[in-house]
Amino acid sequence: MRKVIMGNHALSYGAMLSRAQVIAAYPITPQTQVVELLSEMCADGILNAKFIKVESEHSAMAACLGASLAGARTFTATSAQGLALMHEMLHWAAGGRMPVVMGNINRALAPGWSIWTDQNDSLSERDTGWIQFYCSSNQEVLDTVIQAYKVSEKLMIPSMIILDAFALSHTYEVVEIPEQEKVDAYLPPFNPPFRLTPEDPHAFGGLTSPDHYMELRYKLQKDMEKVPDLVEETGREYEKMFGRYLGQVEEYLCADAELVFVTSGTAGYTARVAVDELREKGLKVGNLRIKLFRPFPFKKVREILTRVPKVAVLDRNLSYGHHGIFYQEVKSALYGQPNQPVIFGFVAGLGGRDITRESFKEIADYALKHDRAEEEIVWIGVKK
Amino acid sequence: MSKERKMAVTIPREELMSPGHLACQGCGAALAMRLALKALGQKTIVCIPACCWAVIDGPFPYSSLDIPIYHCAFETAASSASGVRAGLDMVGDRETAVLAWAGDGGTFDIGLQALSGAAERNDDIIYTCYDNEAYMNTGIQRSSATPLGAWTTTTPVKHYKKERKKDIIGIMAAHAIPYIATASVAYPEDMVKKFKKAREIKGTKFIHVFAPCPAGWKSRPEDTIKLARLAVQTGYFPLYEIENGEKWTLNLKLKERKPIAEYLKLQGRFRHLKEEEINWIQQEVDANYERVLKKCGL
Amino acid sequence: MPKKKEVRKIVFNSAEEMPLAPMSIGSMLHNKTGAWRNIKPVIDLSKCIKCGICWKFCPDASIDIVDEWPQINYDYCKGCGICAEECPQKCISMVEEEK
């Protein structure tokens, strides 16, 4: 069935089709429609789930974790301040190996109050042990929720599905809603290797001494390292069943490019249009949209970017006092590689300022003119 | 020696808390758990946030309880329990009771918001606060449950606690949840009865358990029960129940209340108090007790 | 019936042997807290009236009912003295541990 839906509703449909059993959420702009639709689905009986209408995001994640540990499939969604409030519980989810799937609408953090998109909220949670997927279309949002459950539950690591505020959350697109039976065939019911049950009582999360803590975290990292291949495998399987491949990255005309943009989220979509326009002018550019950000898809990124002479990383985020975060990560991935390209870092679109095709033209212009970046950060569209 | 006679066993024999746990000598909180689990039985899941019990249970990979435990974040006893309840319901287990087991810091202070949320939603959990009247696990810092006049490491003798203990029962009663009770480790039969009753009631149950702490109160470990009993007999911690926020019932009527000084003098945390200050505390106790009597229609 | 937990010290030789999450697999019964004790309770059963009070109030679950008599479990008793203090017959005395 094809439907014209907003990005937020794509999250709701994804959770519904995945048969989420416990949903605990707290409203925040621009996430509200995600939970409004899920509330309706629960009320109408379309979705057989318990919806816990908690009093904060912190409690939302806490409740999801309790439910997950009790053996239920869980879902929540939030944004910016809400995600920041959840921070403690995000560590809890990953360290406790509870495969919650959550939607996060990228929104800039206050102050001043902003409801518009930027990635600092989710990137501030980079090191919490969550899998992070940055999406660029509503279809991708819906499909990735389903895939994320499959990946998360196999490895017992939580996943975050990330989409830009308004640019995607409130944008209506045509979305193919998969059939429930087919989704059921793709995604079996949640059957965790351990759970809270009086029949086999265990204490979860007790005091863990230096004798043990490190090995548990080593295991988490080892399982994280399995994610890229599993995304590949489950993405191919999804393609077979639903006709849409879900990968770690999206490569667009990179093979012969002299300059490749590295983008994420909706900027990656804009970049593709810009690439077409620049190519018409005879400029050999391409775009690499990073979808899977955690764990970082080292192999894919290296494979693609060591074939090109120049790389321009666009960040809609900033690690204050350092660089844009994707820029840091791409540089780190390419460090010491044979055929390392020249890498430029651009920061644009903070707090919801538009990233347009013109932005990419500006980026291309700078990157093609320079042999190396003259500034640590090249700012796009800032009134200096 | 009366060989033929059976031992008087007034509470269930079943032990779901094993020895070997890490509680200090004479710990009221350890006894509280032992008694609560006797009442609730093995089909119980407990959510324990940061508090003494996070340590008492024992480190990974051990536990001293024969029921499942979720060691959850400090402020999430109630929200975690709500989640566990919802999860169990969805996997088809409606029999197992979900117990949130938090200290006074996790209840009166950092976990109050989540507790209020769960109570407002009337989630089907038994929330227990075992109250030892300070942050004991971190080394005796004052909480909003620390009583007037008490020494703690953050209310040193020269600046002893000048604020009253927060009226947690009043707050919970305002939520009009189906069941609230106070209980004391000095009255095991009453306590067991209340936990059993709570297990049978749907919705949010709140049980406030008075749990002396020898290490934090600077009392002798052997005085734990004596202190808990005196707290009741002085009217400092009356035993009562509240149903649906309205029906208040006093469980133990006192013909004569003992003076609070008798209770205070057994504890080093009150040693600095002068007569005048003790009189002050007495007045506070009197007023609180009268208020409870009035609510109970007595 | 729930599975019985192991009563022994658990040693992991590798990460592989460890569970995925920090979850208990053994009982604290391996931890003989009797070693914490300086003084120990001794029951004079000739005066005992089997009121069950010592058993009821033990925070360490270290008084067992054996053949309907109270019996201190010295493997775990921490020597807090609550039983002696609460015994209405005063038939439990706290005696110095010989070390």
8 A C-beta contact, residue A159 and residue A179? no
CATH classification of A250-379, choosing from 3.90.190.10, 3.90.320.10, 3.40.50.920, 3.40.140.10?
Answer: 3.40.50.920
Give the number of other Cβ atoms within 10 Å of residue B63's Cβ: 28
Sequential DSSP letters for chain C: -PPPPB-S----SSGGGS-SSSB--EEGGGS-GGGG-SEEEEE-TTT-----HHHHH-TT--EEEETTEEEE-TTT-----HHHHH-TT--EEEEEPP-
Q: What is the pLDDT of residue C64?
A: 97
Mean pLDDT of chain A: 98
Mark out chain B residues that contact chain C at CB-CB < 8 A.
1-2, 5-11, 13, 15, 17-23, 25-28, 30-31, 34, 42, 57-58, 60-64, 66, 69, 185, 188, 214, 220-226
How big is the CA angle at C37 (ends C33 and C40), to the nearest 5 degrees?
115
Q: What is the pLDDT of residue A291?
A: 98
8 A C-beta contact, residue C37 and residue C66? no
Give the C-alpha separation, B66 to C5, whole Å: 8
Q: How far is CA C99 from the centre of its chain?
A: 19
End-to-end CA distance of chain B: 45
Give the C-alpha separation, A49 to B9, whole Å: 44
Give the C-alpha separation, B218 to B203, whole Å: 38
Give the C-alpha separation, A107 to A88, whole Å: 19
CB within 8 Å: A204 and B123: no
Q: What is the pLDDT of residue B274?
A: 97
Give the C-alpha separation, C85 to C99, whole Å: 24
Where exactly are the structural domains of chain A? 2-241, 250-379
Among C2, C5, C21, the residue with its CB nearest the CB of A97 is C21
Q: Is B34 left (phi over 0), alpha (psi -120 to 50) or beta?
A: alpha
The CATH classification number of A2-241 equals 3.40.50.970
Q: What is the pLDDT of residue C7?
A: 87
Q: What is the pLDDT of residue C2?
A: 67
- A38: contact with B, CB 8 A cutoff: no
- Exposed/middle/buried for residue A121 (C-beta within 10 Å: 0-12, 13-18, 19+): buried
Give the residues across from A46 on adjacent strands: none
- For C59, which residue in chain B has the nearest alpha carbon? B31
Give the residues across from A134 on adjacent strands: A162
End-to-end CA distance of chain A: 49
- Exposed/middle/buried for residue A94 (C-beta within 10 Å: 0-12, 13-18, 19+): buried
CATH classification of C32-96, choosing from 3.40.50.10190, 1.10.10.10, 3.30.70.20, 1.20.1730.10?
Answer: 3.30.70.20
Q: Which domain holds residue B153?
A: 28-295
**Taking CB atoms and an 8 Å cutoff, what residues of chain A touch B96?**
197-198
Task: State pLDDT tens for residues C80-95.
Answer: 999 999 999 999 999 9
| Pick among B91, B96, B110 to test the A interface (most A CBs inside 10 A) | B91
Q: Tell me the residues of chain C between 16 and 55 that have a Cβ less than 8 Å away from chain B.
A: 18-19, 22-33, 36, 45-46, 48-52, 55
pLDDT > 70: percent of chain B: 99
Q: Residue A194: what residue type?
A: F
CB within 8 Å: A62 and B69: no
Q: How far is CA B70 from the centre of its chain?
A: 19
Sequential DSSP letters for A165-210: TTTTTT-EEEEE---HHHHHHHSPPP--S----TTS--EES----T
Q: What is the pLDDT of residue A74?
A: 98
Cis amide prior to B170 (ω within 30 degrees): no
- A188: contact with B, CB 8 A cutoff: no
Q: How many domains does chain B have?
A: 1
| Residue corresponding to tokens 């996790």 | B106
Give the residues across from B207 on adjacent strands: B128, B181
Same fold? A2-241, A250-379: yes
Interface predicted TM-score of the whole assembly (ipTM), two decimals:
0.97
**Quick one: tokens of B289?**
């007790």
**Taking CB atoms and an 8 Å cutoff, what residues of chain C touch B38?**
none
**Quick one: tokens of B103?**
């200290």
What CATH number has the domain bearing residue B74? Answer: 3.40.50.970
Q: Is the pLDDT assigned to residue C98 strictly greater than 90?
A: no
Buried residues in A132-165 as b, exposed as e (16+ CB within 10 A): bbbbbbbbbbbbbbbbbbbbbbebbbbbbbbbbb
Give the C-alpha separation, B21 to C32, whole Å: 9
Sequential DSSP letters for B159-183: G---SPPP-HHHHHHHTT-SEEEEE
Task: State pLDDT tens for residues A328-358.
Answer: 999 999 999 999 999 999 999 999 999 999 9
Give the C-alpha separation, A285 to A308, whole Å: 10
Q: What is the pLDDT of residue B277?
A: 97
Give me the mean pLDDT over the C28-37 stretch.
97
Task: State pLDDT tens for residues C1-29.
Answer: 566 677 899 999 999 999 999 999 999 99
Give the residues across from C24 on adjacent strands: none
8 A C-beta contact, residue B143 and residue B105? yes
Task: State pLDDT tens for residues A209-244.
Answer: 999 999 999 999 999 999 999 999 999 999 999 999
Give the C-alpha separation, A164 to A134, whole Å: 9
8 A C-beta contact, residue A330 and residue A249? no
φ, ψ of residue B69 to 5 degrees: the values are -125, 135
- Going residue by residue through chain B, which has 298 residues, state the pLDDT in tens, using 9 for 90 and above: 555 789 999 999 999 999 999 999 999 999 999 999 999 999 999 999 999 999 999 999 999 999 999 999 999 999 999 999 999 999 999 999 999 999 999 999 999 999 999 999 999 999 999 999 999 999 999 999 999 999 999 999 999 999 999 999 999 999 999 999 999 999 999 999 999 999 999 999 999 999 999 999 999 999 999 999 999 999 999 999 999 999 999 999 999 999 999 999 999 999 999 999 999 999 999 999 999 999 999 9
Asked if the structure places residue B21 within a domain, the reply is no
